[in-house]
Amino acid sequence: MDERLEGAPIWRVCLAGTLGLAVAMGIGRFAATPLLPLMQREGVLDADGAAWLAAVNYAGYLAGALSAARLAARPRRLVLACLFATAVATAAAGLVPTLPGWLLLRAVAGMLSAWVLIGISHWSVGELARRGRANESGWVFSGVGIGIAAAGGLAWATGDAGPAALWLALGGLALIVSLCVWWLWPVPTAEPQVGPLPVAQARMPPGSTALVLCYGIFGFGYILPATYLPTLARNLVDDPRLFGLVWPAFGLAAAASTLLAGRASRRWRQLDIWASCHLLMAAGCILPLLSRSGPAIGLSALLVGGTFMVATMMGLQQARLLCAGNPAPLLARMTAAFALGQIAGPLVALLLARVPMHAGSGIELTLAVAAALLAATAMRLHLSSTVRETTHEPTAHPASH
């Protein structure tokens, strides 16, 4: 390992990872969410177009996740190139006036975000574990929520400027933060040739199919409120200063939750924590259907925002626990299932919107389906946790891998 990397203080490792994920996820994947209601308000995008924008972004993420293992040999180069490309793709969305151009840019942004996530996990989280500071990885993953809150806060504060100006502003913000990551990330004199991440086929252990299914439903369930909560809030009040608060609250809850997850896992089993996250997400999906009030939408944002990153951490740690020798094949299956669930969410909402109903919309009916599936998988995860305790199978702390 290069001496400059060895000597880099822990805070630089954490901050580089945090800011990288803030750009890749908060802007690269989710910048469109607070902008969708503004674009619809100005009449430049309809509901069908919003659904397609969300779907292609997640399709790009799926493509990136499936190909990232072959690109992560040089994580610093990969991450920095993707962060600067994310800034360009985001700013370009403010210059492109048509839906086809937006679809292409959001697909590219989704792919870049997956590559950054893999690259940062490969370096930042791995470097913390190597130094015996794996419990600090919660700070790295808090970057997702910080990025969401920053993007949502910018959209809320400058919503009157219009969506085109906001795309440009978010691109500028992404560029500035990317330059900070470039400065923070130590430069190896000879970047280690670690080779592609292992993706060899392996026989899946018992319980892995249920794990993949639960993780896929998690992707389907959380992406609906994550995508449509600002739009639902806009249906209550047309003032961006009010409905725009939903997304920053979502991001702040996500950031705080990752820092609390480690403490919770010292008292409760990981599968039970994951199951609780699914139940809370189910409540977050169903609340806007029970009440169309501002407090209900706000509480929904907190419930979903405060659980989706914890569920992500717990799910990936369970994969490492089941396949301690080589978790890559199971992680790949779970990532693919998660991405497919995200793609399915907006498309199912789009499809159900065309079904004649007396009340409700496609979004509302899909939220009800998601709530039911999340509740069912919560029960399955809890049963698995009980079985493991009965058979005395080992459990693991989220920060121990």
Query: Could you report the per-residue pLDDT of 361-378, keeping only the tens digit for each?
Result: 677 888 889 999 999 999
The full set of domains in the chain, from first to last, is 1-197 (1.20.1250.20), 203-401 (1.20.1250.20)
Q: Whole-prediction pTM value?
A: 0.79
The number of beta carbons lying within 10 Å of the beta carbon of residue 58 is 27
Lowest mean pLDDT among 45-49, 90-94, 213-217: 45-49
Question: If we measure between CA atoms, which residue out of 100, 119, 107, 112 comes closest to residue 58?
Answer: 107
- Whether the per-residue pLDDT at 301 is higher than 70: the answer is yes
Position 16 scores a pLDDT of: 92
Q: Which residue has the tokens 């499936």?
A: 66
Distance CA 120, CA 99 (A): 31
AA letter at 85: A
- Whether the per-residue pLDDT at 168 is higher than 90: the answer is yes
The C-alpha angle with vertex 146 and arms to 144 and 148, in degrees rounded to 5, equals 70
Position 118 scores a pLDDT of: 78
Distance CA 341, CA 220 (A): 4
DSSP state of 134: G
Lowest mean pLDDT among 141-145, 163-167, 280-284, 293-297: 293-297
Q: Do 87 and 175 contact (CB within 8 A), yes or no?
A: yes
Distance CA 372, CA 379 (A): 11
The two three-digit tokens of residue 56, written as one number: 């292609």
Query: pLDDT tier at 223 (50, 70, 90 boundaries)?
Result: confident
Q: Do 41 and 234 contact (CB within 8 A), yes or no?
A: yes
User: For 140, how many CA atoms within 13 A lie in the half-sphere containing its CB?
Assistant: 28
AA letter at 95: L
- Whether the per-residue pLDDT at 6 is higher than 80: the answer is no
Highest mean pLDDT pick, 25-39, 192-206, 231-245, 312-326: 25-39
